[in-house]
Every structure is written in structure tokens, then in C-alpha cells.
Amino acid sequence: MALRSLITTRTLTRGAKSVGFGLRGLQTFTLPDLEYDYGALEPAISGEIMQLHHQKHHQTYITNYNKALEQLDQAITKGDASTTVKLQGAIKFNGGGHVNHSIFWKNLTPANEGGGDPPHGSLGWAIDTHFGSFEALIQKMNAEGAAVQGSGWVWLGLEKEFKKLVVETTANQDPLVTKGASLVPLLGIDVWEHAYYLQYKNVRPDYLKNIWKVVNWKYAGEVYAKECP
Amino acid sequence: MECCSCNPFSARRHLLLTESKSSKLPHSRRRFQGSQRASKVVAYYGLKTPPYKLDALEPYMSRRTLEMHWGEHHRGYVEGLNKHLEKSDVLYGYTMDELVKATYNNGNPLPEFNNVAQVWNHDFFWESMQPGGGDMPELGVLKQIEKDFGSFTNFREKFIEAALTLFGSGWIWLVLKREERRLEVIKTSNAINPLVWDDIPIVSLDMWEHAYYLDYKNDKAKYVNVFMNHLVSWNVAMSRMARAEAFVNLGEPNIPVA
């Protein structure tokens, strides 16, 4: 099973850059690889969910984002203001979906590769300062994530201007910046039903409880350290 | 919130406080009045069962989906609603339809709205489907669809397109617009339904992922097509249209010449 998923990930286009170039230099996007196998996050997140989530959902966002970008490019060239504005919804939704999921894959890592290990260094200290304790942060994110009505995300973000950590939720595929222009996402958890339904059914709180076992705090710490040297 | 008590004086106090609360809401009727017995009035809703067995929609909507969707999600909304009602009697005395509008609060929804609306939405959705559904409507409904969409095919395309271009969770409706006096296809997000705009829904389709994920995973197109081809109940649509015509004048009746 591991071998099969290994082959699957390796046949996808490898590359640090997940972009391509169109005819007129319009930059389009391709599905970024995962750093781990689909089954590597079990039992917290099933391999079936990971594969569907990555190969179907994320891919669909990218496909539709590219389509919307092409249409936008044409509309801008033609000077078609109403089409340009009309496309903003599709751009925000599909582009947001691509941005959010790209971050999400990096926010996860197998348990035997450091998944779930609490943050150390400056991020760990900042969490204690702003939330009291690591456990308090987890509780807050679980509560807010469970309370999201419909589809959305729950984020641990850094408010760049005041170097403050915040927990925010966004609806649908709105990226974190829609809640504040100076917000940098450190960790996002997808609470769309497709992220957990096959495994946890409607019990979103169980999904939220378990996902912490595969959260990649090292990556979050790196992002934080870059913004707050 | 007053609690049940054997003290006749506090029962009276409950009465007085109730009256001052009711003066804030225009719709409050049927209030607990008159009786000096210290009994607690509570409003509870029950989970309405779909008009068919849970496996009746197979193979288009599996029994497992019905068991989860109705038994867990829908039931959860009913229980959530009852929990809200337990805490505050301000929302007593409404019918379900009125409750949806009242908790919507003209665009600034009260916390109860999500549960109220989702209970209503799911009741409506189960009834919008039937075993052996799909195919085409007949008579008045078909005529009205052809009038407002050009053809049934055009309506079907519009409905499917709406379902596939909805962002996030929500519902697709065939609705009779009261003001415009015509049928339209609309999308709503999360729990919102056409009642809040005073329009009359005819059929609905649940596009929350939990409605189709177990059966179709991410293949929304297949789910929507299956709904149109095999599930949607045009019989129910006809009876809803008939009722709607009591409120919306859709044109001159055909008076036969004697």
C-alpha cells in the first residue's frame, strides 16, 4: 500500500515551483506535491481522504483558478470592466482554495516525522504569552473550528504589525488576509466536510481533536521566525 | 428565564415579565396567559420522518446517507433548536415558517436561525424527493416552467449550473417569486432559504457536502444529475404550486365559454 502511493506521488510532476506559463506569459498553476504519502497521516486522517482531498478537490480549485485567470486576462486586455469585476468571486473562491490548501499540506506531517510535536523556540514562547498555554490554544482552535457554520477554515495567524498571534476563522475558501491585511497564516485547519466526512462523518470535534497528532509545528515555527526574527 | 415554581406569587411575576417581553415582538400571540397554575410552558419540536423508508431512494441516495443525514445531521439541528428554546421563551408561539423569518431578523440573524432554518430546510428537502422521482413535471407546473424558462431543458440546465457553481455549502431552489410572479432558480448559502425574502419554494436540493459525499465523494455533477433524473418529486412540486397560486396571481384563469 505504501509502495503504491509512493509510485503515485512520484509520477506527479515534481518541482519546487508549481507554476506553468501560458501563451501570453500568463502564469498558471499546477498541483503541488505532498511531502508524504497519502496514507502517512493515518490514523488521524485516512489515506482515502488525503488522496481525494489532494487529487480531486485541490486539483479542481487549481483547474478552475487557471480558467478564471485566463478569462480575467482576456477581460482586462479587452477593457471589459464588468466581466473583470464579475470574475472576482471565482478568483477569490478558487484562488483562495489553491492558496489555502497549499498551506494546509505543509501544515501536516506524519507522526513519525515530527507530526504533533509541540512548537519550541520563539513560536512556542509566543503561544504561551498570547494564549496562556499550548493546550489553551488547541482548545480555542477546536472550539472555533467546531463553531464554523457551513464550510470554512480555522487559522492560527500572526498579526504582523503588532507581532500578535490570533485565532481566526474564514468562510468558504476566503484566505486569512480577508480578515486583516497584515495577517500571516501560520497554521490552517480545513473544516469543510470533505476534509473529514468519510472518516469522522458529522463528528467534526473528533476530527479536530485528532488532527493535532499530525500538525507540523516546525513549519509554523519557521514561518513565524521569518516574520519575527 | 423563569423556572417552574410552586410559589403562586412567582407565577404571577412570570406572567408580568412575559407580557413586558411580548411587547417587544410584533408577532407574539398565544402567550401563556390567565392561568395561575405554576406550570412551565415549553415549545419543543420533534424530528419529522421523511415520507418514505430510509432505503427507498436507493440506489440514488443510499440508506447510509439517509441514516447519517436525517438521523444525525437533521436530528442534531432539531435538538439544537430545542436547546435554544429551552433557554428562552421569546421564540414561543411561532409556526416553523414564522420562526424562520423571525430568527432571520431582517438580515441580522439571531443565533437560533441556523438551527431553525436547517430544520425547516431538511423537512422541505426530504419531501422534495420521492422514490421513482425525476422525469418531468406535468400540467400547470410544466406550463409555468416553460413560460418562465423557455423550456424544461433550459430550466434543468440552469438548475444544474447553479448547483455546480455554488461556492461552499448551501441549497439550490426552484422558487416562485412573489413580487415578480415567476419561477426562478436561486442559490442560497449555508442555512438561508427563500422564506426570508417572502418567496415560495417549490423544490430544493441540498448542496452541503454531507448530502452527497458518502455516495458520490466529490462528484457533484453526478449527484445533481441523479437528483434531477431520479429523485426530485414533481408531484410534491405540483401540490406546492397549487398552494402557492392561492397567494400569487399567476394570470387569468381559463374560463370556459358555456
For residue range A98-153, list pLDDT tens digits in order.
999 999 999 999 999 999 999 989 999 999 999 999 999 999 999 999 999 999 99
Rg (CA), chain B: 21
Out of B167, B191, B209, the one facing A172 most closely (by C-beta) is B167
Q: What is the DSSP string of A109-132?
A: --GGGTTTPPP-HHHHHHHHHHHS
| Nearest alpha-carbon partner for B158 in B99, B205, B91 | B205
What does the block give as the cell for A57?
Answer: 478537490
Decide if A66 contacts A28 (C-beta within 8 A): yes
Check pLDDT > 60 for residue B3.
no
Position B4 scores a pLDDT of: 39
Residue A172 to chain B, least CA–CA distance (Å): 5
Check pLDDT > 60 for residue A37.
yes
Check pLDDT > 60 for residue B128.
yes
Q: Please indicate whether residue A172 or residue B36 has the higher confidence score (pLDDT).
A: A172
Q: Where are the beta strands (DSSP E) in B155-246?
A: 170-177, 182-189, 200-206
* Percent of chain A whose pLDDT exceeds 90: 86
Interface test with A, best of B218, B222, B223 (most A CBs within 10 A): B218
Q: Please indicate whether residue B29 or residue A224 has the higher confidence score (pLDDT).
A: A224
Check pLDDT > 80 for residue B164.
yes
* Single pTM value for the model: 0.84
Position A19 scores a pLDDT of: 63
Check pLDDT > 50 for residue A6.
no
Check pLDDT > 90 for residue A164.
yes
CB atoms within 10 A of CB A32: 21
Helix ranges, B2-151 (H): 8-22, 63-68, 75-87, 96-104, 113-127, 139-149
Residue B14 banded pLDDT, cuts 50, 70, 90: very low
Check pLDDT > 50 for residue A158.
yes
Check whether A194 is labelled as a binding-site residue.
yes
Residue A93 to chain B, least CA–CA distance (Å): 7
Whole-number mean pLDDT of chain B? 85
Decide if A190 contacts A164 (C-beta within 8 A): no
Position B257 scores a pLDDT of: 77
Check pLDDT > 90 for residue B220.
yes
Which residues on B lie below 8 Å from A172 (Cβ)? 167-168
